[in-house]
Amino acid sequence: MDNVRKIAVVGATGAVGEVMLSILAERGHQAADISALASERSAGKEVEFGDRRLITKDLADFNFAGIDYALFSAGGSVSERYAPIAAGSGAVVIDNTSAFRYVDDIPLVVPEVNPHHLDGVGPGSIVANPNCSTIQMLVALAPIQREAGIDRINVATYQSVSGAGAEALRELAEQTIARLSFKEPVLNKFAQPIAFNVLPQIDTLQDNGYSREEMKMVWETQKIFEDPSIRVNATAVRVPVFYGHSEAVHLETRDDIAMERVRELLGNAEGVVVVDGEDMMHPTAVTHGAGEDPVYVGRLRRDISHPRGINMWVVADNIRKGAALNAVQIMERLERSKV
Ligand code: A2P
């Protein structure tokens, strides 16, 4: 893309914003074209932009006139309030929160999966970035969905704490130090200790007993695949990992498909790397997820309990592909579609 677009990063001091800035710097954008925005608390604070530094500005005072793309990652209530203002000034808003994901005429996009949903998006539009767990699962499942159709998905997630933000990362580090020093862990972001523990609830519990994080995977899969008949059953779990989400995905296809064909499809799929697990080297959050762009698929095998069942283990960096990178890729697709 031509790199002279003016870009505002909203939530620049946060876990996702920090990585957005580093991806934009890696891709050759110039510091002068980037506005780093956060709350009043951070106004004047410096954030890294490659080997440069940007001064953070207060979102509340910012004038979006002249901004081409506004990448929001400062929480749902901030997006609800400011994304319409940015769009009203002519920016394309790419929103990482769940504020607009379920609005019918707002596209919810994973570029490898449903790029056609960006048709018609232009200045003044809002595009929603899906939930991190949905993104990596659908990048891995899209080739199978296209060829054989998917009837049902059962998924258990193993989600890292970076998905809960910068404060949560500190909490995991501090609780780990406390435990190793035989002290009681202090709770802040998480209701129960996260260090050396596994928490089976992410986001609020709904009336149906599922957490909102789990229901996001249901709603978003159906919207992105444009198929409300796909059945999704999720259990979302927080694990004491800093970066990188892992998922045990079990799916049932509508049509028969041979495992060799599944391997071939995934081997050729955009954004996917299949790891065969030789010498016990499987994709993991630490060895493959953190800091990497692709979605890694391992433990690929036929489900012995179902004739059209497939099992896989899916790993990606939740902050990169699950958020910041996906948003930047949406922006790049929009730019490419102009030429
Ligand atoms: P700040 O550091 O000034 O609070 P994370 O997801 O890692 O918790 O980060 C949240 C991001 O959202 C931070 O950059 C944070 O900025 C920003 N943010 C939170 N509340 C607001 C707000 N009211 N206005 C602008 N930015 C906000």
Query: How high is the mean pLDDT of the chain?
Result: 97
pLDDT value, residue 336: 93
Measured between alpha carbons, how far is 303 from 5 in angstroms, rounded to an integer?
48
Measured between alpha carbons, how far is 288 from 206 in angstroms, rounded to an integer?
33
**Which protein residue's CA is at the shortest distance from atom 14 of ligand 1?**
11
pLDDT single digits (tens) 251-289: 999 999 999 999 999 999 999 999 999 999 999 999 999
pLDDT single digits (tens) 278-324: 999 999 999 999 999 999 999 999 999 999 999 999 999 999 999 99
- Residue 4's pLDDT band, with cuts at 50, 70 and 90, is confident
| Ligand 1 neighbourhood includes 163 CB (under 6 angstroms) | no
**Helix ranges (DSSP H) in the chain:** 15-26, 76-88, 132-148, 166-180, 212-224, 259-268, 325-336
Buried b (16+ CB within 10 A) or exposed e, 194-214: bbeeebebbbeeeeeebbbbb
Contacts (Cβ under 8 Å, ≥6 apart) of 53 = 46, 47
Is 245 considered catalytic here? Answer: yes
Look up residue 229 and give its DSSP letter: T
Question: Mean pLDDT, to the nearest integer, of 136-147?
Answer: 98
CA 280 vs CA 275, 277, 287, 315: distances in Å: 10, 5, 12, 15
Is 222 a residue whose pLDDT tops 70? yes
- Residue 1's pLDDT band, with cuts at 50, 70 and 90, is low
Quote the ligand 1 centre to 160 CA distance (angstroms): 19
Active-site pick, 29, 116, 117, 132: 132
| Ligand 1 neighbourhood includes 11 CB (under 6 angstroms) | yes
Is 2 a residue whose pLDDT tops 60? no
Residue among 13, 54, 64, 132 whose CB has most ligand 1 atoms within 8 A, to mutate: 13
Is 143 a residue whose pLDDT tops 80? yes
Whole-model pTM: value is 0.97
CA 143 vs CA 113, 123, 150, 262, 299: distances in Å: 8, 31, 10, 8, 17
Q: What are phi and psi of 60, to 5 degrees?
A: -60, -25
pLDDT value, residue 158: 99
Query: How many other CB atoms sit within 10 Å of the CB of residue 305?
Result: 8
Quote the ligand 1 centre to 56 CA distance (angstroms): 11
- Residue 338's pLDDT band, with cuts at 50, 70 and 90, is confident
Measured between alpha carbons, how far is 24 from 334 in angstroms, rounded to an integer?
15
Is 288 considered catalytic here? Answer: no
List the strands of the sheet with 295-302, edge to edge.
231-235, 150-158, 245-253, 309-316, 295-302, 272-274
pLDDT single digits (tens) 98-123: 999 999 999 999 999 999 999 999 99
pLDDT value, residue 252: 98
Is 50 a residue whose pLDDT tops 60? yes
CA 52 vs CA 13, 35, 124, 164, 332: distances in Å: 15, 13, 30, 27, 22
Q: Strand, helix or coil at 315?
A: strand
Q: Strand, helix or coil at 247?
A: strand
Question: Mean pLDDT, to the nearest integer, of 176-193?
Answer: 98
| Ligand 1 neighbourhood includes 41 CB (under 6 angstroms) | yes
Measured between alpha carbons, how far is 28 from 50 in angstroms, rounded to an integer?
9
